[in-house]
Amino acid sequence: MRLPSWQIGYALGIPIRVHASWFAIFFLLTWALATDYLPDSLPGLPPERYWAMGGMAAVLLFLSVLLHELGHSYVALRYRVPIDRITLFIFGGVAHMRKEAPTPLAEFLIAVAGPAVSFVLGAVCLGFVALAEPIPQQRGLRGLVILSTLLGAVNVQLGLFNLIPGFPLDGGRVLRAGLWAWGKDFYRATKQASIIGLGFGIVFVLLGFAMLAGSAMGGAPASMASNGSWIALIGAFLFAAALASRRQAALRQSLAAVPVRNLMVTTVVSIPSQCTIEEAVNQYFQPYGYGGFPVLDDGRLIGLITVHEIQAVSSAVWPWRQVGQVMRPVSPSLIVEPDAPVIHAMEHMAREGWDRLVVMQDGQVIGLVTQSAIMHFLQLRKP
């Protein structure tokens, strides 16, 4: 079952969402800090104080993760790579980019921006600790020093972990940028970097199980069991993500070699702009069963109307509202050439949130390419 997520705000114009799994790790982290780390580091406080400090520390740690992802997002936006959303989940966070970086240099800079933010945050926190250590500390200042030490150490570890050269970690993306620049083949570079990611995933899983076995046989402290479980879980996640990235790269590579004309619908039915919505529904949408139609005016393409635009208008005004008044106006992003790769059409649709594009050649409408046609193509060629 797919777990839900909830939007909690915006940053840099990007929706910030919290996945349901985040609450599990938030509770476990708060519990670990309130019952182990904080009582050992700052003894003598009541339990409710430890829980409050643990919750605050957990929030700050995830704020660090969010800032890490915003570092990626800021540089990506500078290169006109749209960010759909940032999601916080059990393993940290992820910025969902609607398309790939345009150049190897852009890929490199986007990848290193996140660890750079983490290292800066770590340096600030540990710098505060260094300045505060010589000062005679009351309990309140001591608490800030302990939290700053924790935040500093975690941010440095977050930056270092993400620089592991296994895709899709940031270090793997840096590796992909280098392989891309060297071999001039983005998809091959992605598959090569993903293989390294698979290797690191396997290593982490084996290391985690070795720690679990050592703890179970009494050759290692009991706390090693918990650490081993997390390392094995992270390794499994990295392996699955690398495998998915490799498959996606192979899929995108195949779509880059297929022209739009091979998938487009050539029997195009258009709607006159003066047609009312009621006429469009009764004479076009219902009889043909299509999800959208080009809109023409004297034989010239002026827009596209889909079920979405129809549903946005109250049925009470359908007899009087014309198609030309509610359609999506024509724009370069609505049009694709027949010899363009299918992957370009997919990126157009993802970027604009559309499910179909008009195929034009020499100023004439010659077809439509839809998401469903692309999905059918992929299903028929699925190994």
- Catalytic site positions: 69
With a CB cutoff of 8 Å and minimum separation 6, the contacts of 251 are 378
Q: What is the DSSP letter of 220?
A: S
| Contact (Cβ atoms closer than 8 angstroms) between residue 99 and residue 346 | no
Strand partners, 16: 9, 86
Among 13, 2, 122, 3, smallest CA distance to 60 is for: 122
Whole-angstrom Cα Rg for the chain: 27
CA angle 142, 35, 52 (to 5 degrees): 60
Sequence-separated (6 or more) residues with CB below 8 Å from residue 289: none
First to last CA, the chain: 25
CB atoms within 10 A of CB 334: 19
Place of tokens 């703890």: 215
Please report where in the chains the tokens 């392996």 appear, as a residue: 239
Retrieve residue 256's tokens: 């880059």
Q: Give the residue from 155, 149, 95, 92 showing the smallest Cα distance to 126.
A: 149
